[in-house]
Amino acid sequence: MLQDHTPIPIEQFNGLYGIDSYEDSVPPTYFINELNTITYGSELRTRDGFGLSLETLPITKFAIYRRQGESARKLALIGTNIVDLTTGITILAVAGMTDFAIGFFNNRAFISPHNGIAGLPGSFVYVYNGTGVARKAAGNKPVAGFTVAWGATGVIETGIHIFSWVFETDSGFVTAPGPAQIIDMDGVHKVSFVNVPVGPTGTAARRLIASRAIQDYNGDEEGYEMFFVSGARIANNVSTIYADVDFYDVDLQFSADYTYDQLEEIPAVVFISPYGNKMGYGGPDVDKNLVYISKSMEPESIHSSAGFASFDPFETEGVKDATEFRDNYYVTKRNKTYVIRDNTFEPSTWKPITLDSSIGSDVNGIAKFWDTTGSKVDWFVVNSPGGIYKFTGVYDELAITRNIRKIIWDRINKEFYNKNQIIFDQERMLLYVLLCLDASEEPSHILVCNYENGFQLDRIKWHLWEFEDFTPNCIGIDRNTNKKTVLKVAANTGNIYAQEENRRYDDESIITNTVKFALIGEEPNAIHHYGAVGFRIMGSGVLNLRLEGQDGVDNQDLPSLNLTCFPGKEFIALAHFQSEKASIVIRMDTPGAYFKLKRINLYTNIIFNSRPLV
């Protein structure tokens, strides 16, 4: 009779837990095992399914590219081609590319092919402005000469003046100057130019630079400061004549000297991450410990001899990722974290400081926040081989994955750790981690962290997701038609799928969901009789039930429950099970089945204080 049994309630659902080999180490509000569920407030439910968002060939990686005034685009690596899936145009094709880094600045995407270890050997960083195809970032200086002569009456001051032309690309980059010409001005004329050099594809304009009047010219064309001549710009790549330029020396204010010492091409890297109004490019194959850092507001302008910082160049392990936090720039290797800070001089003078020699991250290992550059105001998170760590100025002593170390983290295939991916959806307060589990050499599961109660070890809730008919190999956060954030996954067999509220299928396949709750008993060593399991639950489909004892030695299948969306009552399943402790196992594996669980009562009665001695 149930009147003799005491109901033990389970009213909190705190997600997966497993730190050792003993299932009875799992606290009462956690799960021993779980698949395809999610917590929502105090409710545990079947996760929403994924529907087809876009038909594609198999995708290795995709990135969401947002331009002002446009719907978000997706740039996808298909084979060795990066395709803009909005236009269907292949914007970049590079043999040997297995992954790519991407960063954004002023509506433009900066893209670098890589191989998961460093920038792809022999390749470069490219820039894509949303039209046509991507072109190599930065640019070569003019090589053709030009002719300069006096023009109409003007005010250019008496003395020798040096003139040169630079190319301005369609992304705003200004190249190094081409060959210079000198002319002796008499103080009463303007200057005119013919045979102005024409630039390569991607050149949007040509700009004139000049020196101030030189009274004692020593013959060194590059020994004098050069300035941009205000307004002296040919706003096309066709005209070769530019007449009657006039200026006073005092009008020459903006120095062009920096253009002489720029990289004409940026070597391919393994990550691209902004730092303030600069752009960082890390892990080129030629020196995996380098991070190139651009000029302020000029993401393609990198000083050729001083525009970089080096992180322990004697190490073979290169840099993997970076993020800005509290005006500092944090750079990681797989098991190490550094910090540097802008001192207003060239980046080569910035001193890297090692913050931690055991915690770092691999490629895509610093959790990016949706539509941001990668960190919150007061913390950021890294996916380190030893666990996921929160950084607030120092790393927390314990990884936030400490409670799932045995059940999840020890299962990660560390050989392919660089294929993992971590990303935040800060609006839904969910962290998604794409993982290669067990013997898988490609991503196989999504680990989900619900941090709606706070991002602390004892408040987060972990869930594990997998799929029947496809396997996700890349994840991203986008917005749906209702302007809500949505998780999208690229499948290894092709297509992009988006999670949809209240969807009960993954594409057309079943969402199998199961939970094994913690072992429950009133007293240690006592033999309990379990007479029933009560549920406050709603849903649709058949809920299969089972009780299991310690180590799974004893078990009993219970009558299944046929759920309804609005039951108006609490369900109860009778049992006749004896063990020291019992774990409730629920499972749904029929088409369209789902549940939303509020509370469980396990009815128990102690029948022996211990097992009889034998």
User: Domain containing 110 — which CATH number?
Assistant: 2.120.10.80
Report which DSSP code applies to 268. Answer: P
| Separation of alpha carbons 1 and 83, rounded Å | 67
Which of 302, 335, 356 corresponds to the end of one domain? 356
Asked if 133 and 269 sit in the same domain, the reply is: yes
Asked if 600 and 551 sit in the same domain, the reply is: yes
**Mean pLDDT, rounded, for 250-276:** 96
Which of 308, 339, 356 corresponds to the end of one domain? 356
Asked if 278 and 133 sit in the same domain, the reply is: yes
Residues 501-518 pLDDT 10s: 999 999 989 999 999 999
Domain assignment present for 67: no
Distances from the Cα of 516 to the Cα of 36, 540, 585, angstroms: 12, 20, 4
**Mean pLDDT, rounded, for 388-392:** 95
Amino acid at 226: M
Asked if 599 and 562 sit in the same domain, the reply is: yes
The answer to whether residue 280 scores a pLDDT higher than 90 is yes
Asked if 257 and 163 sit in the same domain, the reply is: yes
Asked if 212 and 296 sit in the same domain, the reply is: no
Asked if 177 and 245 sit in the same domain, the reply is: yes
Asked if 278 and 214 sit in the same domain, the reply is: no
For 351, the token pair is 């001193």
* 55: number of Cβ within 10 Å: 9
Asked if 163 and 228 sit in the same domain, the reply is: yes
Virtual CA dihedral for 454, 455, 458, 464, nearest 10 degrees?
A: 110
Which of 356, 377, 394 corresponds to the end of one domain? 356
Q: How confident is the model at residue 537 (pLDDT cuts 50, 70, 90)?
A: very high
| Separation of alpha carbons 260 and 233, rounded Å | 19
Asked if 341 and 269 sit in the same domain, the reply is: yes
| Separation of alpha carbons 278 and 322, rounded Å | 13
User: 216: Cβ–Cβ under 8 A, 6 or more apart, which residues?
Assistant: none
Asked if 228 and 275 sit in the same domain, the reply is: no
| Separation of alpha carbons 430 and 396, rounded Å | 20
Q: How confident is the model at residue 234 (pLDDT cuts 50, 70, 90)?
A: very high
Tell me the three state secondary structure of residue 479: strand
Q: How confident is the model at residue 161 (pLDDT cuts 50, 70, 90)?
A: very high
Strands laid side by side in the 485-491 sheet? 50-54, 496-499, 485-491, 472-479
Domain assignment present for 40: no
Domain assignment present for 372: no
The DSSP-derived string for 59-111 is: -SEEEEE--TTS--EEEEEETTEEEETTTTEEEEE-TT--EEEEEEETTEEEE
Report the pLDDT value the prediction gives residue 162, as an integer from 0 to 100: 97
Amino acid at 589: D
pTM, full prediction:
0.92
Domain assignment present for 48: no
The answer to whether residue 560 scores a pLDDT higher than 90 is yes
Asked if 256 and 270 sit in the same domain, the reply is: no
Q: How confident is the model at residue 140 (pLDDT cuts 50, 70, 90)?
A: very high
CATH code of the domain containing 517: 2.60.120
Range of the domain at 203: 147-261
| Separation of alpha carbons 383 and 363, rounded Å | 9
Domain assignment present for 453: no
Domain assignment present for 337: yes
- State the residue for tokens 């013919």: 194
Domain assignment present for 231: yes
Amino acid at 189: H
Domain assignment present for 226: yes
Give me the number of domains the chain comprises: 3
